[in-house]
């Protein structure tokens, strides 16, 4: 395939998965306590999508990768410092809330609007990549909603593998029930693929790739448009951590049936 693909990856930051997250009720709705102070990482599912996109672009001459990220500008800059050396991409940034409490419809509208404004994007060559889930916005519908807004009807969810033939035919392995794969073939783009795990390891850091990416990352962050999500829609009455409760009682010579009945009564209660 001589023209290559234009691969757009949807991926943003999430709080470091090793951090303890405490929800609070803020003035504009639910939020995380000290959210802006929490260390951030690239969403794990989005990372799979980004690595797969880089692999497709490297194997297909003439391809290009964009990373479209929605999040606070300052936090996005910190995130880019850690992932810029991984794979070549051009950043498209949107300055807005990365909270898991945002409505996926509003998020999809902002992401689709940013994609439509990419000047050199050829929609006939577009592959839309993203995660099938998210460590913060785990609605599981963001890629589909963005694809619908862009008019992409060929969509594949929870994909683990993508191969491209010499003629440009895409073969997608998509997870289905029963631990099986649905194998689908698409004549070519545009199509949307939401990645589960993929099968590629995390690339090693490459300083040359980082220097090349930083030439576009900083200007993209400086001109990132600000998005303020409306408060209408989903209403959270309260947010709190699950309560941990432990009750221990040591007994002897209790029949198994009685123990099972007591445990079942405790669960029902």
Residue 239 lies in a domain: no
**Residue 255 placed within a domain:** no
Any domain includes 56: yes
Contact 185, 144 (CB under 8 A): no
> For the whole model, what pTM was predicted?
0.80
- Enclosing domain of residue 120: 6-222
Measured between alpha carbons, how far is 72 from 77 in angstroms, rounded to an integer? Answer: 9
Residue 249 within a domain: no
Task: Kindly report the CATH number assigned to the domain that includes residue 90.
Answer: 3.40.50.620
Query: Is residue 269 in some structural domain?
Result: no
Domain count, the chain: 1
Coil, helix or strand at residue 241 = coil
Find the DSSP H helices in 62-206: 73-83, 104-116, 142-149
pLDDT tens over the chain, length 269 residues: 457 899 999 988 888 777 777 777 767 667 777 777 778 888 888 889 999 999 999 988 889 999 999 888 888 888 888 889 989 999 999 988 877 777 788 888 889 999 999 988 888 899 999 888 877 766 778 889 999 999 999 999 888 888 888 888 899 988 888 788 899 999 888 999 999 887 778 888 889 998 998 888 998 888 888 888 765 555 666 666 677 777 777 888 888 898 899 889 888 87
- CA distances to 30, 61, 142, 241, 247 from 244, in Å: 22, 54, 32, 9, 10
Q: What are phi and psi of 70, to 5 degrees?
A: -115, 120
CA separation, residue 27 to residues 11, 30, 90 (Å): 27, 8, 35
- Would residue 182 count as lying in a domain? yes
| pLDDT value at residue 224 | 87
C-alpha triplet 70, 76, 81: angle, nearest 5°: 140
The values of phi and psi at residue 87, to 5°, are -145, 155
């Amino acid at each position: 395939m001589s023209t290559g693909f234009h691969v757009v990856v949807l991926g943003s930051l999430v709080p470091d998965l090793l951090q303890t997250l405490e929800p609070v009720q803020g003035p504009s709705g639910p939020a995380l306590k000290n959210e802006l102070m929490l260390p951030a990482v690239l969403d794990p599912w989005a990372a799979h999508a980004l690595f797969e996109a880089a692999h497709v672009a490297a194997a297909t001459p003439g391809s290009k990768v964009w990373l479209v990220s929605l999040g606070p500008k300052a936090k996005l800059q910190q995130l880019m410092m850690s992932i810029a050396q991984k794979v070549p991409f051009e950043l498209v940034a949107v300055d807005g809330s990365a909270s898991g409490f945002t409505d996926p419809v509003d998020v999809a509208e902002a992401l689709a609007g940013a994609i439509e404004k990419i000047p050199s994007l050829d929609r006939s060559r577009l592959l839309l990549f993203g995660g099938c889930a998210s460590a913060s916005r785990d609605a599981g519908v963001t890629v589909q909603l963005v694809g619908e807004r862009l008019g992409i009807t060929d969509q594949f969810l929870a994909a683990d593998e993508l191969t491209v033939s010499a003629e440009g035919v895409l073969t997608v392995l998509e997870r289905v029930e029963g631990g099986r794969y649905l194998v689908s073939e698409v004549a070519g783009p545009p199509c949307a693929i939401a990645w589960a795990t993929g099968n590629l390891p995390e690339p090693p850091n490459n300083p040359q790739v980082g220097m090349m990416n930083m030439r576009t990352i900083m200007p993209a962050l400086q001109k990132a448009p600000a998005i303020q999500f409306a408060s209408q829609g989903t209403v959270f009455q309260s947010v709190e951590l699950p309560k941990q409760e432990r009750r221990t009682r040591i007994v002897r010579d209790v029949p198994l049936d009685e123990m099972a009945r007591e445990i079942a009564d405790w669960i029902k209660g």
